[in-house]
Amino acid sequence: MPSDLILFAVFPYVAFSLAVAVGAYRYFYDRSSYSSFSTQFLENRWLFWGSVPWHYGLLIVLLAHLLGALFPGTWATLFGKPPQLYILEVAGLGLGFFTLAGIGLLLMRRLTNPRVRRVTSVMDWILLVGLLLQVASGVDIALVHRWGSVWYLSTAVPWLRSLVLLNPKVDLIAQLPWTAKFHIFNAFVLFSLFPFTQLVHIFTIPITSLWRPYQVVIWNRKASPTKSERPHLQQGKA
């Protein structure tokens, strides 16, 4: 279909080029924006309970996707038999719900806390919603379209390799259900959004922090006047 050709043969290259070009521009010409702009000082409790499951769950899930893509033969050998496949599917589904709870808490934190909401940009909202949809679609695939750990090796993995070889085989993706198609397409959408948001900092490795001198932070805040320093107000008729 023409739509599949645009979404899975053209858009991945557009997303990759946009991410590299804009990310490089920000790094070399707007280095001060290459940070995460933490809101921990504004609210800490919800941030902790949301960021811990989000970061750890997402890291393990992404690592599983990466290992399957890099070593499909080894992955199929390890998890090709029913007992190992059952364990992998259950573990993956549990991690999916774990990650979904994390991003849900982070989104609710932005929605319900006025101070955090005030410093949240439009691109932050778009990215948060995109991440929520990405994790939710992954959980839906695990629930409805079982054994994704196996058919992922014969569909998405060879398609990704065809992209690297500049010969995209769209027919491998065209046969997938729409939820899986959305999951794949949305991943490239998120990749293209990275340089426009705070998540661009994940592409940096802060090794210079190991030898950077300590930074002294001084609060520059005018103290409120004491009771003796307050001007006396005279009461009178208007």
Q: What is the pLDDT of residue 27?
A: 76
Residues 71 and 99 sit within 8 Å (Cβ to Cβ) = no
Distances 55 to 91, 126, 141, 195, 203 between C-alpha atoms, Å: 16, 19, 21, 19, 15
> Which is nearest to 1 in space by CA: 144, 166, 178, 153?
178
User: How many other C-beta atoms can be found within 10 angstroms of the C-beta atom of residue 70?
Assistant: 10
Q: What is the pLDDT of residue 150?
A: 87
pLDDT in tens, 130-161: 999 999 999 999 999 988 888 999 999 999 99
CA distance 229 to 107: 44
**Which residue is associated with the tokens 């103290």?**
223
Which residue type occupies 24? A
Delimit the domains of the chain by residue range.
Answer: 2-210
Residues 54 and 109 sit within 8 Å (Cβ to Cβ) = no
Rounded to two decimals, the pTM is 0.80
Residues 39 and 106 sit within 8 Å (Cβ to Cβ) = no
**Which residue is associated with the tokens 């023409």?**
2
Q: What is the pLDDT of residue 173?
A: 93
Please report which helix (H) or strand (E) contains residue 129, including its range.
Answer: helix 122-144
CA dihedral angle for residue 12, residue 57, residue 104, residue 109, rounded to 10 degrees: -110
Residues 157 and 169 sit within 8 Å (Cβ to Cβ) = no
Q: What is the pLDDT of residue 45?
A: 83
Spans of the chain below 70 pLDDT: 1, 31-38, 40, 200-238
* 220 contacts: CB under 8 Å, gap ≥ 6: none
CA distance 170 to 159: 7
Domain 2-210 -> CATH class: mainly alpha
> Which is nearest to 148 in space by CA: 60, 94, 68, 77?
68
